[in-house]
Amino acid sequence: MPPTPEIAELKNQFSEYLRRKKYRNTQERSNVLDRIAEIDDHFSADELYLYMNGQGDKVSRATIYSTLDLLTQCNILTKHRFQGESAHFELATRMPHHDHLICTECGRIVEFREEAIDGIRDQVAKGLGFRPLSHSLQIHAVCHDPTTCEHNTSD
Amino acid sequence: MPPTPEIAELKNQFSEYLRRKKYRNTQERSNVLDRIAEIDDHFSADELYLYMNGQGDKVSRATIYSTLDLLTQCNILTKHRFQGESAHFELATRMPHHDHLICTECGRIVEFREEAIDGIRDQVAKGLGFRPLSHSLQIHAVCHDPTTCEHNTSD
DNA sequence: GTTCTTGCAAACCCTTTGCACGTCT
DNA sequence: AGACGTGCAAAGGGTTTGCAAGAAC
C-alpha cells in the first residue's frame, strides 16, 4: 500500500475544519491524525489509545475520544457501530466504501461493495435537501447453507 | 391505525420460535410482546421497562433485555442503534421499512422510505448465499439550507 | 492573559451477570 | 423433579465529565 500521500491533504482538511469551528490546533490533535493514517484498518478508541501510547505518544483516552469525535464530524473518519461492539472508526478515504451483512443466527459478518447504494444515498439525501457525505448499511440475513453457518443446528 | 390484528400472528411466531429453540414459553415473555404491540413507535429497553411497570406488569430489566433479544433474533423486532444512543426497537411489521438520514452538523434525524434499497438488499444477500431478513441504512449528510440546520452557524 | 484543551480519575449509562428463588415442562 | 427463567443488585465495559494544570491564541 502507498504511504498514504493524502495524509497532508487530510491534515489540511482537519486544520481547516478546526479553524472554521474556532477550535484549537493542538499538538495532540495533530498526532492523533498522524497515527490514524498509519493504521490500514478499522480501529476502536481503545485500540488507538494503546497503539499511540505503545509508540511513545502520550495521549489520554479523553483526548482520543474527543479527537475521534472531531474527525468524524468533519468526515475524515467514518464511525461504525456493529451489534453490541464498541464504536469502530476508519479513514473515510481508506477504501471504496463497503457495507456489512450480518448473519442473525451466528453473527458472522461479511463485507461487500455495492455501487448502486451510493447512487440511492445521493438521490435520497438531495431529495430531502441535504448534501450527502456517507452512509452505513447493514443487512441482516441467515445462511442458506447450514454447513457454513455455525449456529444453524435446527431446521 | 387498526388494533394490530397481527398480534395473534406475532405471538404464534414467537411461540413457534421458542419451541424450535427449546426455550420456555413464559408468562413474562408473552406479556412483553403484548405490551410492545401497544406501542406504535420506536422504544428503548428502559422505556419499555418503565411503561410495563407503570401499567402494573412487574417485569425486571433483566427479563426485558433478554426478551427483546429473543424477539430481535426471531425477527419480530428490528433493533436500531443511532449514534451514541441506547438501542431502540420497533416491530418489524410496524410500517413499511424506513431508514434514517442523520445530519452530521446538528444531529437531526429524518426518516425516509426508499423501495429500491429492498431490492438491493435481497440481491446482495442472495448473491452471498444468505436469506435476507432486514436491513438498516443510515445516511450521513449536512443540510443544504442553513436555516433548517440549527448548527449551521458558519458558512 | 484569557480561553480552550489535556490528563486523570471518578462518574455515568446501558447492558450483562451471579445467585437464590420461582416457574415451566 | 429437574432445568430453565426471573428478579434483584452488583459488576462490567465503553464513553463522558469535573477539575486542576498546561498550551494555544
Using a 10 angstrom Cβ sphere, with 0-12 exposed, 13-18 middle and 19 or more buried, the burial of residue B43 is buried
* Interval B18-42 mean pLDDT: 94
Query: pLDDT tier at B126 (50, 70, 90 boundaries)?
Result: very high
**In 10 A of CB B71, how many CB atoms?**
24
Cell of A154: 435446527
Query: What's the CATH class of domain A99-141?
Result: alpha beta
pLDDT band at A147 (very low <50, low <70, confident <90, very high): low
Strand D nucleotides, any atom under 7 Å from protein beta carbons: they are: 4-9, 13-18, 23-25
Compute the distance between CA of residue A64 and CA of residue A60 in angstroms, rounded to an integer.
6
At B151, give phi and psi (nearest 5°). Answer: -100, 5
Residue B42 phi, psi dihedral angles, 5° rounding? -70, 155
Lookup result for grid cell 422504544: B43
Strands B88-91 and B77-80, how do they pair? antiparallel
Q: Measure CB to CB from residue B130 to each of A128, A130, A142 and give the nearest one.
A: A142
Please write the tens of the pLDDT for every residue from B88-125: 998 988 767 789 888 876 667 788 999 999 999 999 99
Full strand arrangement of the beta sheet holding B43-44: B43-44, B88-91, B77-80
* Residue pair B4/B37 in contact by the 8 Å Cβ criterion: yes
Neighbours of B3 (CB within 10 A): 7
- Give span(s): CATH 1.10.10.10, chain B: 5-91
SS3 B89: strand
A86 in contact with B at a CB cutoff of 8 Å?
no
More confident residue, A136 or B64: B64
pTM, rounded to two decimals: 0.76
CATH classification number, B5-91, choose in 3.40.1410.10, 1.20.210.10, 3.30.565.10, 1.10.10.10: 1.10.10.10
Q: How long, in residues, is chain A?
A: 155
Cite the residue boundaries of each domain of chain A with CATH code 3.30.1490.190. 99-141
- Return the residue of B nearest to A21 by Cα: B154
- A vs B: CB pairs below 8 A: 114
Cβ distance A143 to A149 under 8 Å?
yes
Q: Which nucleotides of C are covered by protein (CB under 7 A)?
A: 4-9, 13-18, 23-25
- Averaged over A35-63, what is the pLDDT? 94
Task: Determine the pLDDT at residue A146.
Answer: 65
Q: Which residue has the higher pLDDT, A151 or A21?
A: A21
The confidence score (pLDDT) of residue B68 equals 97
Q: Which long-range contacts (CB under 8 A, 24 or more apart) does A131-134 make?
A: A131/B141, A131/B142, A131/B143, A131/B144, A132/B139, A132/B140, A132/B141, A133/A75, A133/B104, A133/B140, A133/B141, A133/B142, A134/A75, A134/A78, A134/A92, A134/A97, A134/B139, A134/B140
Question: Which amino acid makes up residue A60?
Answer: S
Total length of chain B = 155
Q: Which of residues 27-66 of B touch strand D (CB under 7 A)?
A: 28-29, 58-63, 66
Q: Considering all CA atoms of chain B, what is the largest pairwise distance in Å, rounded to the nearest integer? A: 59
Q: What is the mean pLDDT of residues A89-102?
A: 83
